[in-house]
Structure 1
């Protein structure tokens, strides 16, 4: 908080020009986003209040008097520095100019930097409140579609565009047709991840591998989790995305604990989503990975929870009645395959060994895990 207030005082006393202050704040915000650090002190600082006043002042000017670039700069600084949620009245002010800045299509390096910064700022516009579609949908859709055709964005900028849109999905389920069928999120996320993982040396540990590719992968994981949590449509592209997550997990499991754990979180979320097919989890190798992990001599509480939730959902969904005779036969065959793999991997012993941990987890972390061991078994 002290450094934030010191900068406000420097601006007030004219010891630093507003132009230089903005450049510094944008640089700080850029690095904060990449390293996933929150500066909560900014939210309640005098500098935050000063920026809100300046945003209001610039926005209230007549069109011919308004400095659009200055408003974009202020909006980027404010969005990138802010944690939690941006108030309604400021979201409605900053989103349109940021989208306009992000819509530039010139291919030069300077424009790419401007577009990347605008999209990065938009990706920080929170999910806590809904934003009217008129404020953003046509513009963000065009940005994503144009990149899919012309490849004009950096990987971070493209991921940021999706992050902004998927955050809107949390509140507005009417976006599912656009996200799933028109813009093909699952296909695009899988393609981007495949390209990113080629650039990472997975034999190096997390501390040595602090490249931007790893940071962008983590950001993609955030939106993939949000997508699977919110989505109610299925297509073949989602099966491809699950396959991709399994591949990343296998690559990262030895030296990148954070990425490995995020992969397990996503696969657990996929098992909870009734629109992700259990057959896709089986064919991708996700079930095998969970079974392998359960046999480890050391396993964290969070991963024990993941294992329980994963197999609880798999079991529940496979126990559902299927009226259609053909589908019923497919389900029975799939249950048989899963049960055989469980037997091979010693699943019953692992579940029984974890059972003593359930009460502790429920009490300490407020989980709602079942104490009935039979709930975690697939009855063929």
Structure 2
């Protein structure tokens, strides 16, 4: 036991020491030549990889970025070495969802944006590699982008993403370009800048499977984000590119790589890359379920796939569990999603399983009951069509049978008591819940 205690203490001391090591090593830059600087960057990048979110945010703030900008201007840091460092910072920022705030307002952001515009305007001797690197840095680190910057960066990075070479270096470049594009988020991108090229890239990847899982998730994230701005081409997403089918395939493969038995309180265990990418897919699906209106036979299978992940994750993987619940919440808000989809897929079963289990936390209880409340509200919506009314009553009957199967009366009475005692703000979730089901 003493040995284990000492190991734990050593791990904590080492973690606390990472930011100090980084700061000390970074301060040596001014006294190094270009070659030594590059070696320093490799060591700094290794330390960045080991940082947790708190350590990462404490180091990479506006002050640090402005310091880097000043060192570049004063020739104390070589631009290529600075880019090598910043691409790693951007990569970790995006992968770990560290969410660096305010980069857009830094001097470094303005300097890089100015370099991008100047490089793009060159008629001859344009440095394509520098342009790509600068675009990636700005997109990976930023959260606000001008329309002019987007109009340059998107075609530039799509060109990199179209590289069909299968060597490791080329794949890494494609991954970085797609990860940067993915970070544009909901900023509007004109359709002519990306749709044909992104469709071509996805179709090629579906046929050849020659890209990393992270890159494949990123290209879909970029495309699905843009659905929020323009749904005119969602037919391409649903029926030509078969997004739901591809998401099912990726979620199934990633689920096989996750150690679902790992204890949630186990210390010293970092997320695997597969866990991170799985969470990113669920983030993509949040947008898809909220904004995409087209449905096909693949959709119910996708709902069922998420239900299975939720069932597996509910005890030990809180963040994955939360995202699955958010997916269901967005789905039930979307009027194009039929209530029977939740019945057929098993989603309602796993929601009820969670509610009746004793170790579920309050936040997840709220999400489950909020889902049921929204579902019930939709079942109260009447229409003049006789066929719709008959279908609505049949779905309500099936749902009521599910409630009885899971001890509906017992847990509603229990949660009325618990919520009043623990958090009165949650009481609205179950107020008059019985009224939605008794008369069908």
Gaps of 5+ in 2: 1-61
Does the aligned pair in 2 maintain the 1:308–1:376 contact within 8 Å?
no
1:113 to 159, 172, 176: 172
Mean Cα deviation higher: 30-39 or 326-335: 326-335
Which residue among 336, 353, 369 is the counterpart of 1:292? Answer: 353
Instruction: Count the aligned residue pairs.
Output: 375
Aligned to 2:154: 95
Structure of higher RCO (CA pairs closer than 8 Å, 6+ residues apart): 1
Q: 1:140 to 1:205 in 2, by over 3 A?
A: farther
**Shift of residue 102, structure 1, vs aligned partner:** 0.6
Query: Is the aligned partner of 1:165 residue 2:229?
Result: no
> Paired residue for 2:138?
78
Task: Check conservation: 1:315, 1:378, Cα contact below 8 A.
Answer: no
Matched, 1:303 2:303: no
Of the candidates 257, 265, 283, which is equivalent to residue 199 of structure 1? Answer: 257
Deviations 1:305-340 (A, max 9, x none): 322331123223333446666665554443222212
- The alpha-carbon deviation at position 27 of structure 1 amounts to 1.0
* CA–CA separation in structure 2 for the residues paired with 1:164 and 1:311: 31
The answer (yes or no) to whether the contact 1:201–1:209 under 8 Å persists in 2 is no
1:377 partner SS: helix
Structure 2 residue aligned with 1:140: 198
Secondary structure at the residue paired with 2:166? coil
In structure 2, do the counterparts of structure 1 residues 217 and 61 end up closer, same or farther at CA, with 3 Å as the change threshold?
Answer: same
1:78 Cα deviation (Å)?
0.6
The Cα of 1:80 is off from its aligned counterpart by: 0.4
CA contact (8 A) 2:325 2:367 kept: yes
Q: For residues 263 and 379 of structure 1, do their structure 2 counterparts lie closer, same or farther at Cα, with a shift above 3 Å needed?
A: farther
The secondary structure found in structure 1 opposite 2:183 is: coil
Change (3 A) 1:152 1:325: same
Picking from 251, 257, 262, the partner of 2:318 is 257
Q: Which runs of 4+ in 1 moved over 6 A?
A: 358-362
1:246–1:286 CA contact under 8 A, matched in 2: yes
- TM-aligned CA distance change 1:6 to 1:42, over 3 Å: same
TM (norm. structure 2) is 0.79
TM-score by length of 1: 0.91
Asked if the contact 2:300–2:344 (Cα under 8 Å) also holds between the matched residues in 1, the reply is no
| Higher gyration radius (CA) | 2
What runs of 5+ residues in structure 1 fail to find an aligned partner?
A: none
CA contact (8 A) 1:279 1:334 kept: yes
Q: CA deviation at 1:287?
A: 0.9
